[in-house]
């Protein structure tokens, strides 16, 4: 219903929810559903060049962009970005759509 073009769908029953991993085109998506089937959150992988300019610019302040995920939760959009600093340490950054850094941590 929510993703009519999804292929290779794999479902997992989580505690009080369900998770679906699937592809649309060549892009992996992960969707979370409540017990009654309501979509609560979904994520999709992004290529670094697909990041909005404001998120990419802010991410590059911390290092080289390695991986990106766009997160849709209710009416909100977030971006998880894995960066690698000059010492090759990886960090996870979480931004809102306005490029405000909400959380960061070492991987």
Mean pLDDT of 8-22: 95
Mean pLDDT value across residues 12-28: 94
- Reported residue count of the chain is 107
Q: With a cut of 90, say whether residue 39 has pLDDT above it.
A: yes
Q: What pLDDT does 23 receive?
A: 97
**Residue 74: predicted pLDDT:** 87
- The mean per-residue pLDDT over the stretch 37-52 comes to 94
Helices (H), the chain: 53-60
HSE of 7, CA atoms in CB hemisphere, 13 A: 4
pTM of the model: 0.88
How far apart are the C-alpha atoms of 88 and 99, rounded to whole Å? 23
Q: What is the pLDDT of residue 4?
A: 94
* pLDDT for 51: 96
């Amino acid at each position: 219903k929510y993703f009519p073009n999804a292929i290779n769908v794999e479902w997992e029953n989580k505690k009080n929810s369900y998770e679906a991993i699937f592809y649309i085109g060549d892009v992996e998506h992960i969707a979370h559903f409540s017990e009654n089937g309501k979509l609560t959150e979904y994520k999709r992988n992004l290529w670094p060049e697909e990041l909005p300019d404001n998120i990419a610019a802010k991410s590059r302040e911390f290092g080289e962009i390695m991986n990106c995920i766009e997160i849709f939760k209710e009416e909100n959009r977030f971006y998880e970005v894995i960066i690698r600093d000059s010492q090759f340490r990886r960090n996870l950054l979480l931004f809102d759509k306005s490029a405000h850094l909400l959380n960061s941590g070492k991987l």
